[in-house]
Amino acid sequence: MKISRQPTPVTIKIDQKQLENVKCFKYLGSLLTDDGRCTCEIKSRIAMAKAAFSKKKNLFTSKLDLNLRKKLVKCYIWSIALYGAETWTLRAVDQKHLESFEMWCWRRMEKISWTDYVRNEEVLIRVSEQRNILHEIRKRKANWIGHVLRRNCLLKEAIEGKIDGRIEVTRRRGRRRKKMLDDLGDRRGYCHLKEKALDRIKWRNCFGRDCGPVVLTDY
């Protein structure tokens, strides 16, 4: 797979056999695409989570206690949907897909059809919930990035862009492409973010559950 703005294919031969150029493939359970985005992976994860919900629909829609059913959904369904979410770079369209999936879970759990014309706010009141899925992703990403920034490893160098080599950079029109660390962005810059990561207590206090709303920004 070649991830580049140039459409020219890459020719690699091993034992006189040319490797196939592909646009996407699965690696360790995650779907990688040649555009470098996470949209296809997120859609795939949501589809698998919905299928898992349908298999256990009788359990999630039963007369069990509401809090117990919510815990089952977050444990059994959200864990499928959010597999590998620590490495996602979320655009506005991806965030909307995830929030729609979150509301889909609560509506199915309470047997609320779209033809009932019940607003999302009313659904959240019925299940005593707030929109949490984006906060959960941000918290998972913060925990993972914190471990990476406290170590001296190849992954840290890749995130910081310190890999040796030359690359031809051509400026495109429009705003810059969103990066993985932008979800945790600090107005004082990456160096301040890295400094906070060295202090585990400060890092956890900064990116705990009550870390503030997730702002939808499209890049």
CB distance 89 to 38 below 8 Å: yes
* Residue 108: predicted pLDDT: 93
pLDDT digits (tens, 9 = 90+) for 73-93: 999 999 999 998 888 888 889
What pLDDT shows up at residue 189? 59
Enumerate the domain spans of the chain. 39-130, 133-163+184-209
Print the SS3 string covering 21-73.
CCCEEEECCEEEECCCCCHHHHHHHHHHHHHHHHHCHHHHCCCCCHHHHHHHH
Question: Mean pLDDT across the stretch 117-126?
Answer: 92
Of 213 and 146, the structure prediction assigns the larger pLDDT to: 146
Q: What mean pLDDT is reported for the chain?
A: 79
Query: How far apart are the C-alpha atoms of 157 and 160, rounded to whole Å?
Result: 5
pLDDT tens-digit readout, 140-193? 887 777 777 777 777 777 666 655 555 555 556 655 566 666 666 555 556 666
pTM of the shown model: 0.75
204 or 21: which leads in pLDDT: 21
How far is 50 from 192, CA to CA, in rounded Å? 39
| Distance, CA of 2 to chain centre | 22
Determine the average pLDDT of the residues in 1-13.
Answer: 75
CA 35/CA 184 separation, integer angstroms: 22
Question: Does 13 or 123 have the greater pLDDT score?
Answer: 123
DSSP 14: E
Angle, alpha carbons 42-48-52 (nearest 5°): 140
What proportion of the chain, given as a percentage, has pLDDT over 70?
73
